[in-house]
């Protein structure tokens, strides 16, 4: 019953009292079904180890139903919406323009994007090297860590269009560095704050949310750009193994199950196939 009540607690929104000195309580949102299932699997493994060590006789998780894992509905852009996004980005700051377009054209994860260093970008060859990730923790601040999996270490080719965007950003980067003078904090990161410090991951997410709201674009998350990248590549008949490699997935099934969605224009095309085959001469 303790475990069942624990699952029930995690599945509901509740308030958590802050440390002394903070007036308001923090609202803890319900965990996703996927995260709940991961909690269940971890607890089951822990108790099973306790049975193996003869600390307890029976694993109590055997008689607890695992939380149902529901596949989240991810919003993404189709080709026409992406063209609109590109149009609206033209007048934005070069840093955020580079951030959004690099994500859209490579499918890079947010942490991998912000973990990029200047040396990771080969503008002559049009190549991005991904071998690290940036993360923020309250007690550690912003730090660099290894990527999500071994397959996450990869090189991704970028088109000339993105190279031009990055070259423009590089010029602004150097101007800002010169403007700051001795206030500049050298971090070697490609995307930084005004004084050279690494960017907080949420800064990118918040900027993108405000950007799509300002331009009345369809609502998607920043991570939705990664889904957009995979879906559009597959819709253009790019080999699934190539897409999987570019995304840094270890298995093709991950790409197919979670990162590929139907494109509206293809749905329309499919709807006309049988008419052409069976009705038209």
pLDDT in tens, 63-81: 898 877 666 677 899 989 9
The model's confidence at residue 259, banded by pLDDT at 50, 70 and 90, is confident
Domains by residue range for the chain, with CATH: 2-63 (no CATH), 81-222 (1.10.443.10)
Could you read off the pLDDT of 96-155 as tens digits, one per residue? 999 999 999 999 999 999 999 999 999 888 999 999 999 998 888 899 998 878 888 999
- State how far the Cα of 219 lies from the Cα of 210, in Å rounded to an integer: 10
Choice between 260 and 87, residue whose per-residue pLDDT is larger: 87
Q: What is the mean pLDDT of the chain?
A: 87
Least confident of 175-179, 201-205, 220-224, 237-241: 237-241
Q: What tokens does 62 get?
A: 């055997």
Neighbour-count burial for 223-258, b at 16+ CB within 10 Å, e otherwise: bbbbbbbbbbbbbeeeebeebbbbbbbeeeeebeee
- pLDDT value at residue 95: 96
Q: Give me the mean pLDDT over the 39-49 stretch.
A: 94
Least confident of 75-79, 81-85, 171-175, 224-228: 75-79
Q: Which residues, at least 6 apart from 159, have a Cβ–Cβ distance to it below 8 Å?
A: 105, 126
Choice between 281 and 169, residue whose per-residue pLDDT is larger: 169
- pLDDT value at residue 271: 62
- Is residue 56 over pLDDT 90? yes
- Is residue 268 over pLDDT 70? no
The model's confidence at residue 280, banded by pLDDT at 50, 70 and 90, is low
- pLDDT value at residue 26: 65
Q: What tokens does 97 get?
A: 């323009």
Beta strands at 127-130 and 133-137: parallel, antiparallel or unpaired = unpaired
- Token pair 């859209």 is found at 104
- State how far the Cα of 182 lies from the Cα of 240, in Å rounded to an integer: 48
**Percent of the chain whose predicted confidence (pLDDT) is above 90:** 58
DSSP string computed for 187-208: --BSSB-TTSPBPPHHHHHHHH
pTM, to two decimals = 0.75
Q: Give me the mean pLDDT over the 201-221 stretch.
A: 95
- pLDDT value at residue 53: 96
């Amino acid at each position: 019953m303790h475990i069942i009540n624990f699952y029930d607690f995690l599945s509901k929104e509740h308030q958590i009292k802050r440390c002394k000195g903070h007036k308001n309580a923090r609202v803890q949102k319900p965990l996703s079904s996927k995260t709940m299932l991961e909690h269940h699997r971890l607890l089951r493994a822990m108790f099973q180890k306790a049975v193996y060590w003869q600390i307890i006789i029976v694993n109590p998780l055997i008689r607890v139903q695992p939380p149902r894992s529901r596949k989240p509905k991810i919003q993404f852009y189709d080709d026409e919406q992406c063209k609109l996004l590109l149009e609206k980005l033209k007048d934005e700051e070069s840093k955020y323009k580079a951030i959004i377009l690099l994500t859209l054209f490579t499918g890079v994860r947010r942490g991998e994007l912000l973990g990029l260093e200047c040396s990771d970008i080969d503008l002559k060859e049009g190549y991005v090297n991904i071998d690290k990730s940036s993360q923020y923790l309250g007690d550690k601040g912003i730090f660099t860590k290894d990527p999500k999996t071994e397959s996450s270490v990869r090189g991704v080719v970028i088109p000339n269009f993105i190279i031009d965007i990055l070259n423009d950003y590089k010029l602004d980067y150097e101007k800002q560095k010169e403007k700051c003078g001795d206030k500049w904090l050298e971090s070697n990161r490609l995307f930084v704050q005004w004084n050279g410090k690494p960017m907080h991951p949420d800064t990118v997410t918040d900027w993108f949310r405000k950007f799509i709201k300002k331009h009345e674009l369809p609502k998607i998350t920043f991570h939705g750009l990664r889904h957009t990248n995979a879906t559009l590549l597959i819709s253009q008949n790019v080999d699934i193994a190539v897409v999987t490699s570019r995304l840094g997935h270890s298995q093709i099934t991950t790409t197919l199950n979670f990162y590929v969605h139907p494109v509206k224009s293809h749905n329309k095309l499919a709807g006309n196939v049988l008419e052409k085959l069976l009705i038209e001469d």
